[in-house]
Amino acid sequence: MGAKYIFVTGGVVSSLGKGLASASMGCLLEARGLKVTLLKFDPYLNVDPGTMSPFQHGEVYVTDDGAETDLDLGHYERFTHARMLRDNNCTAGRIYETIITKERRGDYLGKTVQVIPHVTNEIKSAIRKISQDVDVVIVEVGGTVGDIESLPFLEAIRQMRQEQGRDHVVFVHLTLVPFINTSGELKTKPTQHSVKELREIGIQPDILLCRTDRYLSAELKAKIALFCSISEEAVITAKDVGNIYEVPLVLAGEGLDTQILRCMKLETPERNMQPWMELVERLRHPADEVSIGIVGKYVEYQDSYKSLNEALAHGGIAHNLKVNVVWVEAEGLEGENWHEQLAGFDGILVPGGFGKRGIPGMLRGIEFARTRKVPYFGICLGMQCAVIEYARNVAGLAGADSSEFDPATAHRVIYKLRELRGVDELGGTMRLGAWTAALKPGSFAHQAYGGLEISERHRHRYEFNREYEDVLVANGLDITGNTPDGTYVEIVEIRDHPWFLGCQFHPEFKSRPLAPHPLFKGFIGAAYQYRKQRMAAAEPAKDVAATHKATAMSPSEMKSEAPR
């Protein structure tokens, strides 16, 4: 039996959660024993999101094979066991680039190159390319129905049903059913119009996911089913939830996977969602909490750090803790009273980024963590900044910097990757994808991973300058992770510290809710130990203050303070 296909489209407005819906479908189908993979189509003309602003696009998610992809691929990997690669994300830019390359090469033998069939054929080819050795392919079409740029993709998936047959293709449409406060009722008209728009281009949805803040009544489902020509059971409430990991359970309760199997005429065992139920239970009832300060430069748009945010939550799950994340704008630490913004955190993290904006604030955050023994975790840029801060303030290398921020610095402790010197193009010109590293026995990293060799995903253009290795190590910096050939420094630590680690790679890309990443588990564990020590130290101080207050009170004041 060949693969079957689920095509997920969105209507009414953007940002309804097609990525989470697609990932949740994959989760539910895997829970029934099916093997799935997923594909994200993005209708923009960029070849990939690698050069796009984090404020516009959010996080760039990196796969093992070095592809810079849409952040939805992170959801796919966190919710399923599918391994995402370059072919699991395709943009209109890449489709057109492929077609133009073929045309210039003469592959079309003088034919007029058109949207139909050439563009649509290329889109269908991208779908079939990932369809080997799986039971179900879930394809998310980015954008909103009605957008001009997504029309070729919608035409291609319409053709797929014609070619594959009705039992092999399911159309799932995610739409909005808003609650109007002034009238006190849910409105179905936006959904009706969105489905009408789809039908005008030849696609009849089989299943509707209705995004709303409350469960749809049977009457409302019947109304939507009537006007949209689908069965009532195929109208699924996609209710807002407190945590994204509840989404598969909500959709399972609505019978989404049952409807998908009905459309595909597939028989499977009953789903087993017990691990996810236990996960959600731990999230709802944590034993305690920790507070983590993230000193970053894209904090206004938190999708820029999507995987990081989730990985911190996973680290909390491993210890049955709620992780309270506080976003600290790096530039805000460059003024007066910056210490006050960092007081009260149980751990400080500096994430990745590019450019010199906010670097002085990041360096202050790192100095605060180092000198006050607050657990510190630096990722990519956060590792490079940790090296710069240590070089300046401990090793005595005045003005030490990265050549990215100050090309004329006397001490380039961080400099451009050797193989990229003379390369000025930005797209795809970094050290990308999975690389192995050897760990130093007894290090924080070794304790976290429980092994001496690891493989992690990278996305960086600058590296540790090994010309400064001797002086930094002599002053107490510990290099605990290297590439097997000794070329690149992967991890630095400070041993005289409860937990201080900077890594050149991005561990957040490999963290899963059911399998938290070892470094995030270690960091949150260290932060919780620091919190307990901090709280224990604060208790005697409270008792002393209370004693002083009591001895200073007059008898009448003491009487007024007595419990009534």
215, 280, 278, 272: which is closest to 243 by C-alpha?
280
Active site residue 508: yes
User: Per the residue annotation, which of 411, 446, 497, 506 is the catalytic one?
Assistant: 506
Active site residue 380: yes
C-alpha angle 9-512-245 in degrees, rounded to nearest 5:
55
Element (H, E) at 366: helix 359-371
127, 238, 171, 144: which is closest to 8 by C-alpha?
171
- As given in the structure block, the two tokens for residue 388 are 């710069």
- If you write DSSP's letter for every residue of 100-140 in order, what string do you get? HHHHHHTTTTTPPP-IIIIIHHHHHHHHHHT-TT-SEEEEE
Residue whose token pair is 């005289």: 496
CA separation, residue 411 to residues 339, 400, 408 (Å): 27, 5, 9
Element (H, E) at 24: helix 18-30
Residue 369, helix vs strand vs coil? helix
CA separation, residue 12 to residues 191, 217, 401, 446 (Å): 7, 21, 49, 49
Residue whose token pair is 């966190």: 78
DSSP-derived secondary structure letter, 515: B
Active site residue 506: yes
CB distance 142 to 43 below 8 Å: yes
- The rounded distance, in Å, linking the Cα atoms of 222 and 229 is 10
User: Per the residue annotation, which of 380, 385, 456, 460 is the catalytic one?
Assistant: 380
Residues belonging to the active site: 380, 506, 508
